[in-house]
Chain A
């Protein structure tokens, strides 16, 4: 699951000509540390939804990688 999330985030970063990151830390902030805009976050949600069938933003904003993991582990 964690590798998949890493893969999706890197896909998004590479498409905007940012470097791929090697690992994700649970404390990484999606906007500030990973540089994702709201459009990128929207992409992240649909792609995670396609993969895991869970809408991570359904009940409010998710800010960190750890919060994504928490949603997916529920």
Chain B
């Protein structure tokens, strides 16, 4: 049997995994561990036996989130003991699982919120079959969150290999990609920006997927250079609804099957409740959930649309509304700029003043004035950040997205 997971030089084969599953007759409904292999064993054990579980971040203090009883964390419960004869049996059991899985939003802004999912909503976009065999995935997401689960199920149900690269340094990521001849990477734009600037091409990678945040042309151009053999695509997945759309060029397409489950009000995408997990934090209007994503139709009949921005993300600067994403895109197109964050700061003259934190690529020197002049040729004056800070690094959320506070 092939390799299931490589984490910190440790290699776990599918045969090791089968042994781990067969030798245990208990699982942890609320499990907190920094060891990714133990985490996956527990997850698979629970799902294959149709038991419910709550996925907790290893660094999370249960008091940070509502509705988690600290005393139940890492307390084992007996589980029916199945002797699985092969991994295919385990996968089949998992596919028929009736487990409920509780996950938490990443808290990009604010307190993490609880959402309950079934295996079927979590595996909605998983593709299985001959052409998905033999893939080697760089595992670049937090395993307890939606995107990490999506990648896990996609790889696991095809008995592929996962190479853990989440939270690793740039040089380590490249080393692992090269050493294990990684074929697939799915990660946030923030993760890919960590890999800049381009130095060497890695030909083994045939598929690069971006999700969770907005990306930009500068990043695309660099990904093409770093992974010249890769097809690049985007996914839209949310903690609330799982994976919903496939990318088509720079647009997304709602598949025909679920096209009647969406509506758009004031440019905001509304999702029918039947596509969502369960959560007390969801606010519905009728049967629809407000996604907070502002979109524009490219072809409504075909379900083809483009993302514009997040609602409530607009910053009011002296009466002008600024979309920080637009400014970030222009900043990122400047040669030598690696990562940026644009935000508003309360100000007594304008209400808000536009600020930008900028991380430069190594060996680049750009001044405040250089940046402003580069922006002035592309943006109206009110969209130009007035306070520019150069930073060494950015704070990331648990799911590896930029923290917007």
CB distance from B23 to the nearest CB of A (A): 59
Residue ID in chain A nearest B350 by CB atoms: A42
Interface assignment of B355: CB less than 8 Å from any CB of chain A = yes
CB distance from B287 to the nearest CB of A (A): 44
Annotate A14-26 by CB proximity to B: 1 below 8 A, 0 otherwise.
1100000000000
User: Is A45 in contact with B318, judged by CB distance below 8 angstroms?
Assistant: no
> In the complex, which residues 345-369 of chain B have their Cβ closer than 8 Å to any Cβ of chain A?
345, 347-350, 353, 355, 368-369
Q: Which of B185-193, B214-222, B301-309, B379-387 contacts A (4 or more CB under 8 A)?
A: B379-387
User: Is A15 in contact with B372, judged by CB distance below 8 angstroms?
Assistant: yes
A38 — which chain B residues lie within 8 A by C-beta? 318, 349-350
User: Is B368 in contact with A46, judged by CB distance below 8 angstroms?
Assistant: no
Interface assignment of B373: CB less than 8 Å from any CB of chain A = yes
> In the complex, which residues 1-56 of chain A have their Cβ closer than 8 Å to any Cβ of chain B?
11, 14-15, 38-43, 45-47, 50, 55
CB distance from B315 to the nearest CB of A (A): 13
B381 — which chain A residues lie within 8 A by C-beta? 39
User: Is A57 in contact with B349, judged by CB distance below 8 angstroms?
Assistant: yes
CB distance from B304 to the nearest CB of A (A): 38
User: Is A39 in contact with B369, judged by CB distance below 8 angstroms?
Assistant: no
Q: How far is the CA of A42 from the CA of B319 in the complex (A)?
A: 13
The number of chain A residues with a CB under 8 A from chain B is 16
Partner of A50, one of B347, B349, B373, B387: B387
User: Is A45 in contact with B349, judged by CB distance below 8 angstroms?
Assistant: yes
User: Is B368 in contact with A15, judged by CB distance below 8 angstroms?
Assistant: yes
Q: How far is the CA of A23 from the CA of B328 in the complex (A)?
A: 35
Q: How far is the CA of A11 from the CA of B371 in the complex (A)?
A: 12
A15 — which chain B residues lie within 8 A by C-beta? 368-369, 372-373, 376
* Cβ-closest 9 pairs across A and B: A43-B386, A42-B349, A57-B348, A15-B372, A42-B350, A42-B353, A46-B387, A15-B369, A41-B349
User: Is B348 in contact with A45, judged by CB distance below 8 angstroms?
Assistant: yes
Which residues in B have some Cβ–Cβ distance to A below 8 Å? 317-318, 345, 347-350, 353, 355, 368-369, 372-373, 376, 381-382, 386-387
User: Is A45 in contact with B369, judged by CB distance below 8 angstroms?
Assistant: no
Residue ID in chain A nearest B320 by CB atoms: A39
11 sample A-B contacts, Cβ–Cβ < 8 Å, listed by A number: A11-B369, A15-B369, A15-B376, A39-B350, A39-B382, A42-B350, A42-B353, A43-B387, A45-B348, A45-B353, A58-B348
User: Is B369 in contact with A42, judged by CB distance below 8 angstroms?
Assistant: no
Residue ID in chain A nearest B387 by CB atoms: A46
Q: How far is the CA of A7 from the CA of B122 in the complex (A)?
A: 56
A57 — which chain B residues lie within 8 A by C-beta? 348-349
User: Is B368 in contact with A42, judged by CB distance below 8 angstroms?
Assistant: no
Are A46 and B347 also in contact (CB < 8 A) when A38-B318, A39-B318 are? yes
A58 — which chain B residues lie within 8 A by C-beta? 348
Q: How far is the CA of A40 from the CA of B181 in the complex (A)?
A: 52
B369 — which chain A residues lie within 8 A by C-beta? 11, 14-15
A55 — which chain B residues lie within 8 A by C-beta? 348
Partner of A11, one of B345, B349, B368, B373: B368
